[in-house]
Amino acid sequence: MMRKTVYLHIGHGKTGSSALQSMFALNECAIGDQGINYPSHPSLSRAKEGKITSGNANHIPRIFKGISNNGNWKGDYLFSSEALFGELTKRKVVLERLVREGFKIVIILFIRDPVEHLISSHCQHVKRAGKVFGVDKLFESYNIPEKVRELIKIAQKMNHCEIRIINYSKCKRSLGRRFFLELGVDDTGFISNNGSRVNRSLSLGEYYVQLWMNELLGCKCGSILSDRFCDELPNVESEMPAVDPDVLSEFLKKIKPSLERVNLLISKEEQYDIKQVSDYGNLIRPLDEEDVYLDLKQIRILFDAFREVVNNPQTWLVGTRKHQNNQGQIKK
């Protein structure tokens, strides 16, 4: 008996997952017509509106619930969540259970240029997690390529399981088409999100405002500032903060062996590019010469955020001192 396939789109983070999840939600019927079920989730309505979501498998049990709720489905299944990237390396029993229950597993994992990914992840931490330190600090602990390698090794050792690697940095302008190609799905006529970017990164002006708001208010304030920037102004151009060239040079030396180890395991077309500091010239600039700008719409959102704080001080100001003590000061 032929096994049904469970496609697991697992990110990793900052590789267009929210945009893809918006496409999945908008086209769930069209995808289903081609034999792949994208099981329902409470966040699908937000995804259809182009809002920030975490997919339909933000918790492992969602996978098995999605399958059991569609037990009469004769085709394959698609689940999507960046949370699975970390979960599957720690809980490969999930994969083993799917195999025992008669499924073939296809893991679809996007990777990204490590410097781009690290800075984008840092900006996400500022945007959603209340971080108050500068980007240079994150270079010390970045180890995503090693986690990628670990997951590839896990998949390669399992029966009825394969992993497909897609380099986001090489296909971000045609992300949906590239993904549906892996599923064997024809996306002709699919509904788009009208060109809006989902869960975009911040502009420099937005980034610095959020960084300083985090220092003032703590980890919860992203919901009244950055979320509004991204949801209400999805087409504002994203920008990356400057980095110290010495820190960048040391990081590239340190990360190179990890990239080379991963490259040995994946197709040449999707491999990490091994770069030099000079390849990131757009990031090398004096911090005190950053060109920071907010337009009237962004200023209005900032004003609304301050009004929310003034009107609800107990919600936003309680615990601020404890947060500042835990996070430390912004690294200049």
Q: What's residue 331's pLDDT?
A: 45
Is the N-terminal amide bond of 12 cis, ω within 30° of 0? yes
CATH 3.40.50 matches 4-114+144-183:
yes
Alpha carbon distance 115, 282 (integer Å): 12
Residue 285 pLDDT level (bands cut at 50, 70, 90) = confident
Q: What's residue 136's pLDDT?
A: 83
Alpha carbon distance 225, 234 (integer Å): 13
- Name the token pair of 208: 């610095």
Summarize the confidence of residues 251-261 as an average pLDDT: 97
The tens digit of pLDDT for each residue in 180-203 reads 999 999 999 999 876 567 888 899
The DSSP output letter for 134 is: -
Q: What's residue 321's pLDDT?
A: 44
Residue 323 pLDDT level (bands cut at 50, 70, 90) = very low
The tens digit of pLDDT for each residue in 151-163 reads 999 999 999 999 9
Q: What's residue 318's pLDDT?
A: 59
Q: Where are the domains of the chain?
A: 4-114+144-183
Q: What's residue 246's pLDDT?
A: 93
Higher pLDDT, 278 or 58: 278
Alpha carbon distance 31, 56 (integer Å): 15
Q: What's residue 194's pLDDT?
A: 61
The tens digit of pLDDT for each residue in 77-135 reads 999 999 999 999 888 999 999 999 999 999 999 999 999 999 999 998 899 888 888 88
Q: What's residue 329's pLDDT?
A: 47
Q: How many residues does the chain have?
A: 332
Q: What's residue 219's pLDDT?
A: 67
Q: Which whole-number Å values give the CA distances from 125 to 131, 172, 231, in the listed order? A: 6, 21, 17
Residue 68 pLDDT level (bands cut at 50, 70, 90) = very high
- Of the CA atoms within 13 Å of residue 251, those in its CB half-sphere come to 25
The tens digit of pLDDT for each residue in 162-186 reads 999 999 999 999 999 999 999 999 9
Summarize the confidence of residues 253-274 as an average pLDDT: 98
Residue 51 pLDDT level (bands cut at 50, 70, 90) = confident
